[in-house]
Chains A and B, each alone.
Chain A
Amino acid sequence: MKVVRVSDLKYKSEFEAPFYCVLSDESNRREMGCANLAFLNLELLLRRQINIKNEMTAFDIWEANRASLPEDEVQAVSFENAMNFLDTREIFDGFRMLVLNPNGMVPEVFFEIALRRLLQGQVALAMLEVPDKAGDKPILKVNHLAVIHSEEGEVYLDGLKLDLETFIKILYYSPLSTLMFFAKNKVGR
């Protein structure tokens, strides 16, 4: 679980994604909304897969993302603008996307696909509903984005190590929960 400060993002070798939380340098308040953080983590993890080597730090990517978002949404990005962002960013052209809603599938098929893809190293963008308070019932509104990926047999939600029970509880909490898997396009196909 990596909690970093904004200035830490400038040192890419020391602070590799995914980040669980990015704090302001001025105080302890969170600097990023969930979608901003998810898109930063997503892009950094996908860059690793397609082996993009350039001088962009996590901070540069974050700044570029901020610049492409409406000014009043720098802290908290709406779901619609988040999808628009995904639609227009060039890096995602290099990936095939598979969208799965666990609630709309029998568990056998969902888990076989999802776990297999995580084992293959694919990264998933999770579109979720998170309750305001513990025990609240879902109100059927997606209000959270996060990145799920796997490394060395562990599964992480924005860098927080998950167990399977928690993974299931999160995914099946709301009927709207959706996973979008990104698989690298194969050359020449």
Chain B
Amino acid sequence: MSREGRKIVLVWGEIEKNEIGMTTLELLNVAQALVRALDGEVHVIFVNPKTEKELCGQAIFFGADTVHVFDMPGRSDLTWETCVAIVQNLVREVSASILLFPHTLTGSQVACQVGFSFGFPVVLDCVQIEIEESSGNLVVTRPVYGGKCYGIYTLLSESAAITLHPKSVSPARKEESKKGKVFFREIREDILQTKVRLVDVIPFEFSGPKLEDADVVVCGGRGIGGTEGFEQLKELALALGNGAVGATRAAVNEGWASQEKLIGISGKTVAPKLYIGVALSGACQHIIGMKGSKIVVAVNKDPEAPIFRFAHYGVVEDYKRFLPAFLQTIRSRPEKGGENDGR
């Protein structure tokens, strides 16, 4: 499938809302840079995409040379173990040597299992993936110590399985003139893995927009003190125009907010236009999940709270006093800054 001796970079593809997913576009950007340095080809794999499978072919416009779509109609209970087996087969078939995954749960799970099975080095959550010109080695940068610092690593192998931290690089640009090949393939019964069986799926209760996509994020921390405080944050998020509420690890551990609201190293990464951090200290583990935000506002009664070092605007005030006043101010201007903001 590939010309002799060319390096194959394999990207794990995902579909979101009937489009090639943002994480996939970010990976394709990295993959294109790698194949330019290595004289290689970019392959993308989609497993059981929840969409018209023809849509996956659009990955070609974003830099894929070959797209493989594996499908098993009527089966929505495939576990990651089966995904691992499918990727393993494809890696052998096309001799892929660099495997790129998004740093999502499934992404890291498949990356680890496939990577280890081939003896590839496995590195997760990278913010930068490059080829060192002098040596031709892969060099990756990733957060360590909960984001307090970053480590730069050289991979002493021509192969690797790597996950990319969301929103660390820009997405690949679309070029409709690009050409490539698309293969549609059925997932064979005999590849289904049985050591793990999916019994049931329980969705989290949802209200409002998804955290990762929201233009406004209001996040609460340990100082919020309880679930009532989070109701107040929700009110503010709605008043600011369909914003989403997030939480720090401390607040999730207290049970004031559910896991899917967690922003930070073990949760989600957000990069909204406006982020408001309320009664949270600003631990590195959290900062790493919100540092891409355009405007950061911090509300905390402790002027020494580290979050102020990452905020454009700081309000030293008890949130219980400040938020009602702020809500009233926003609501008293229903024209939403209409007269002179030039939008």
Q: Do A and B bind each other?
A: no
Task: State the A residues within 8 Å of B (CB).
Answer: none
Task: State the B residues within 8 Å of A (CB).
Answer: none
